[in-house]
Homo-oligomer: A and B are copies of this chain.
Amino acid sequence: MIDPVIIGTVALDSIETPFGKIQDALGGSACYASIAASFFSKPGILSIIGEDFPNKHIIFLNEKGVDTKGIILGDKTFKWSGFYEFDMNEAKTLRTELNSLESYKVEVPDDYKNAKYVFLANIDPELQLDVISNVNKPELVVMDTMNFWIDQKKEHLLKAIDKADILVLNDAEARQLFDTPNLVKAAKACLKMHTKAVIIKKGEHGALLFTDNQHFNAPGYPLEHIKDPTGCGDSFGGAITGYLAKTQDLSEANLRKAVVYGSVIASYNAEDFSIEKLKRIKQEDIENRYKEFKAIRQF
């Protein structure tokens, strides 16, 4: 059984950071998210690629237990190139080639339709809405987004948020979307919609989880060697959804655990380019770092 279903981009990324560069490497929000989710459950991807997309990546995804039959074939694969400056906090885009993504229409395979968990990774909110209406009865819809959609398609974005159960976004996006510098106020504004939980990603500063009456503060992992933060937000959301799909427990206490597992996977992801580090880590590494997250916050 495919769970969670993840829509997002599958991309070829070219990235330069102070620690190296890569050309046309595997990337995209659905890609990071599904690899992250695969540590906990059996995700399936909804996306589009082109004829230029190397087969080895599909084989790798399948080996990881990621179902790829929801990936359809267009002309050319979505490409993104960007760089990070010395502080590594913000990706600067050099070039975005939407390619096949421009004409992408969501097609949900039959055996994805009964998925109970859905992760709407970062992609056009109209496509996110299409997924919601094409999955029969999801128990939980988690969604991510980015500033581009707040700027360009705020109305569709708000519609999608209103149908999601958990919104994941970064601190700058939360401030922008809810028009307040105060993250507590932003989260409260969001919880007044139908959203049951808001998770605010703060990069090296960790993450915040807001539910109706509770607040959880997940620490950032003290990374000394960051190589490439691309995909950290996507793998964070993917891991959270994958962990929830595995544990089938939507209590606040279990959401907290999910956020920490998300942080664990995201912290590993930053340690190498593309999906290289996620390729190498084992279940044991995940449990070890989870314990470290406990240790650094004990008092």
Interface residues of A (CB under 8 A from B): 86-88, 181-185, 188, 202, 204-206, 208, 210, 215-220, 222-224, 226, 253, 256-257, 259-260, 294, 296-299
Contacts and interface: CB of A to CB of B under 8 A. Distances in A.
Contacts of A253: 299
Contacts of A184: 222-224
A188 B223 CA distance: 12
Given A181-B87, A257-B299, A215 B222 contact: yes
Contacts of A210: 222
A59 B223 CA distance: 48
Contacts of A202: 205
Copies of this protein in the assembly total: 2
30 contacts: A86-B181, A87-B181, A88-B181, A182-B223, A182-B224, A183-B204, A183-B222, A184-B224, A188-B224, A205-B205, A205-B206, A206-B206, A206-B217, A206-B219, A215-B296, A216-B296, A216-B299, A217-B219, A217-B220, A217-B222, A217-B297, A218-B299, A219-B219, A219-B297, A256-B298, A256-B299, A259-B299, A260-B299, A294-B299, A297-B297
Contacts of A260: 299
A91 to B, nearest CB: 15
A253 B295 CA distance: 11
Contacts of A206: 205-206, 217, 219
Nearest to A257: B299
Listed from nearest, the 9 A-B pairs whose CB atoms lie closest are A217-B219, A205-B205, A256-B299, A87-B181, A184-B224, A217-B296, A184-B222, A215-B222, A297-B297
